[in-house]
Structure 1
Amino acid sequence: MAASRWILLLLLLILLLIASLSLGSVDIPTTDVIAILFGKQSNEPAWQAIIWDFRMTKAFTCILAGGGLSLAGLQMQTLFRNALAGPDVLGLSSGASLAVAALLLGQSAGLPLLTTNSTSIAVASSIGCFGVFIIMLAIAQRVQDNAALLLVGLMIGAATSSIVSILQYITQAEDLQLYIIWTFGSLGSLSWQEINLLGIVTVIGTVLAIASAKPLNAWLLGENYAQSLGINTRRARLQIILSASILTGVVTAFCGPIAFVGLAVPHLVKLVIKTSNHLILIPAVLLGGASLVLFCDIVTQLPRQNQLLPINAITALVGAPVVIWVIMRSRKISV
């Protein structure tokens, strides 16, 4: 990859980060933002608190969530050799949605009422993701065909979605509103302690992905080719699934289900980077995903009336044209 393209990706991320810190209900000049980031005093003392206590936490959440989901999407598209595979194809997001729905909508269904603060929602989402992951891990050890594994993941997602639909149908309007708001996704409600945890888990998932770069490169030509290179495909597949599950699960737990990012970013990055080497694609996709979510977060602030648009609505507007382009670009939907 040419050095100029790395510089382009890094420059884009930096510019979007500065724009994200500058824009909001209170506009802060770019020069003051840069001064505050370098530890200098600004013209308004309150601006420093706004940036470090509110906007920087949101920007870091965007970077971690965008990078994690995009990397998980890249791994799933390569593993299943399907250009329309995303980080939720294993049913992890659906499992999280079911657990959160049981927490927020369960009272109407006669389930015991638990506290519904942000911590309990994150815990419930994590439990749902982990439960589906254990099921998929057990199935992956028995099913050797990736296409069959993909179908199982889609069926688990369909089954959990049907249960959520039943809970939505019988629940009260107040509880239903809380759940619907959670499904919109949220990037601005994390504390620095929660961001540290999100960052640590994201790094773990990323390290596993980097360790899987060689099997991912071999998988581009099929599982048989990977085996001919001496790769233990069963162990490699479990490692790839573990990495994607960790990345998808932690982002969903802290930010809710954010759609289309993991699906769209790998294709957008491949337009800039003409390579299939995952040692190059992985860091590029991390930068691209962080940049895309920062951009979408900036768009959510366009109303400028102390009201934000749902992040999922913006990511869908960006991701849907990419999906259409992928379909139109190739008759056969495969990597």
Structure 2
Amino acid sequence: MGTTLKWFFLIFILVLLFLINLSFGSVDIPLIAIFRMLLLQEAENPIWTSILMDFRMTKAFTCVLAGSDLSLGGLQMQTLFRNPLAGPDVLGLTSGASLAVSLILMSNAVSFTFFSTGTPWAIAIAASLGCVSVFIIMLAFSSKLQDNVSLLIIGLMVGAGTSAIVSVLQYLSRAEEMQTYMLWTFGSLGGLNWNELLVLTSILFIGIIIASASIKSLNTWLLGDLYARSLGIDINRSRFFIILSASVLTGGVTAFCGPIAFVGLAVPHLVKLVINTSNHKVLIPAVLLGGAILLLLCDILTQLPGNNSVLPINAITAMIGAPVVIWVILKNKRIDV
């Protein structure tokens, strides 16, 4: 299959899954009616228009944006650390967001009743602040460290520390508070409105700009620090912008959708099976498409046919992502950290 044909294949799959995603839901809407509404024609049932535009369309776009965000962040982290098992949350950003959200939803456990306002925007702001806080901490460490391996280990330790605090809060909190927090950790793609989608789109746009400006340094990072220095790459500056891009992308998705696992880890490997290249000028757009495709597929699989129940998105992403991780380990025989 030629390269051009592969690109058309990815775009075709994306459009197809987008339309299939719009047709899935508890209310049966004929596919022909969906096409008419997309062409701005009047629907037979006015309720269908409201369901399509205010829920299904926003959910489908959330899948596209969140999948692209996480996949691009994962690609950058795997390149920076030269570790195929590095994901977008490897720096502890997701754990920082989880800690901040747990302080909102389970703050009664530490007698901070004032903060127990679990509105969607309060949770989004808290998650953003948690990601930003961890990002600042990691930047402080990166300025002191000369190698990425040490930074990776510190990121894992920061994540472990924040997770420990969350565990203490869970132990001290009431059952209903813990349940609310647990539901958030399952991830959700269906709760965004058009204004929140605009914010998520802006985050993706910023991340793409930074990643595109870092293409040269990303390509040189593949061969290590010394090679990058020999080509005149400013190591500290390059690392700062790569971490900034991944942090913005991961933090934005976590803020609005919760912690969605495995997408950023699995997609770069799956895309490289289709687009066989290590050039980030090609990989970045391919990974953006691949992430959107995977999360659309996962969202479709969460909706049980003939049943109004919806599975947690993280359950499906784990079912797909875990075999990919096993395959990566078997393929590489050993993982250098």
TM-score by length of 2: 0.97
Mapping of residues 85-100 of structure 1, within 5 Å:
85-100=86-101
* Cα separation, 1, equivalents of 2:42 and 2:305: 29
8 Å contact kept, 1:296–1:315 = yes
Q: Report deviation, 1:304.
A: 4.1
Matches within 5 A, 1:1-335: 2-114=3-115, 115-333=117-335
Task: Give the letter aligned to residue 23 of structure 1.
Answer: F
Find the aligned partners of 1:132 and 1:318 in 2 and give their Cα distance.
28
CA distance in 1, matches of 2:24, 2:180: 27
Could you list the per-position Cα deviations for residues 104-144 of structure 1 after superposition, in whole angstroms to 9, with x for gaps in the alignment?
A: 11112222332111111111111100000000011111111
1:52 maps to amino acid: M
What is the CA-CA distance between 1:312 and the residue it aligns to?
A: 0.5
Aligned-residue CA RMSD in angstroms? 1.2
Task: Return the alpha-carbon distance in structure 2 between the equivalents of residues 15 and 276 of structure 1.
Answer: 27
Change (3 A) 1:23 1:98: same
Task: Please state how far the C-alpha of 1:45 moved relative to its aligned partner.
Answer: 2.8
Q: Which segments of 5 or more consecutive residues in structure 1 lack a partner in the other structure?
A: none
The answer to whether the Cα contact below 8 Å between 1:66 and 1:261 also exists between their aligned partners in 2 is: yes
- Show CA shifts across 1:277-322 (max 9, x none): 0010000000000010001001111154332110010100010000
Counterpart of 2:31, as a letter, is: T
Q: Distance in 1 between matches of 2:65 and 2:71?
A: 10
User: How many Å separate the matches in 1 of 2:42 and 2:85?
Assistant: 48
Please report how far the alpha carbon of residue 27 of structure 1 lies from its aligned counterpart in structure 2 after TM superposition: 2.3
- 1:212-255: CA deviations, max 9, x gaps? 11100111111111111111111011000000000000000000
- Hey, what's the Cα distance between the residues in 2 that align with 1:63 and 1:215? 27
Percentage of pairs with the same residue? 60
Q: Residue 8 of structure 1 aligns to a residue in which SS?
A: helix
The answer to whether the 8 A contact 1:91-1:132 is kept is: yes
Whole-angstrom CA distance in 2 between matches of 1:30 and 1:286: 27
- Asked whether the equivalents of residues 108 and 172 of structure 1 are also in contact (C-alpha less than 8 Å), the reply is yes
**One-letter amino acid of the counterpart of residue 257, structure 1:** P
Query: CA separation in 2, counterparts of 1:17 and 1:148?
Result: 41
Task: Report the number of matched residues.
Answer: 335
* Structure 2 Cα separation of the partners of residues 190 and 46 of structure 1: 19
Residues 110 and 303 (structure 1 numbering): CA distance in 2 closer, same or farther, change over 3 Å? Answer: farther
Hey, what's the Cα distance between the residues in 1 that align with 2:216 and 2:16?
33
CA displacement at 1:201 relative to structure 2: 1.4
Task: Say which SS state the counterpart of residue 186 (structure 1) adopts.
Answer: coil
Instruction: Tell me how far apart the structure 2 counterparts of residues 154 and 295 of structure 1 sit (CA, whole Å).
Output: 30
1:259 maps to a residue whose letter is A
Deviations 1:32-69 (A, max 9, x none): 22221121233333222211111000011111100000
CA distance in 1, matches of 2:273, 2:157: 32
Deviation at 1:200, TM superposition (A): 0.6
- In 1, the alpha carbon distance for the partners of 2:154 and 2:329 equals 23
Would you identify which runs of 4 or more consecutive aligned residues in structure 1 move more than 4 Å? none
**Which letter does structure 1 place at the counterpart of 2:9?**
L
2: distance between equivalents of 1:304 and 1:165?
37
Contact 1:104 1:116 in 2 (8 A): yes
Contact 1:100–1:121 under 8 Å retained in 2: yes
SS at 1:113 equivalent: helix
User: Which whole-Å CA distance do the structure 1 matches of 2:288 and 2:168 have between them?
Assistant: 37
Matches of 1:217 and 1:224, distance apart in 2: 13
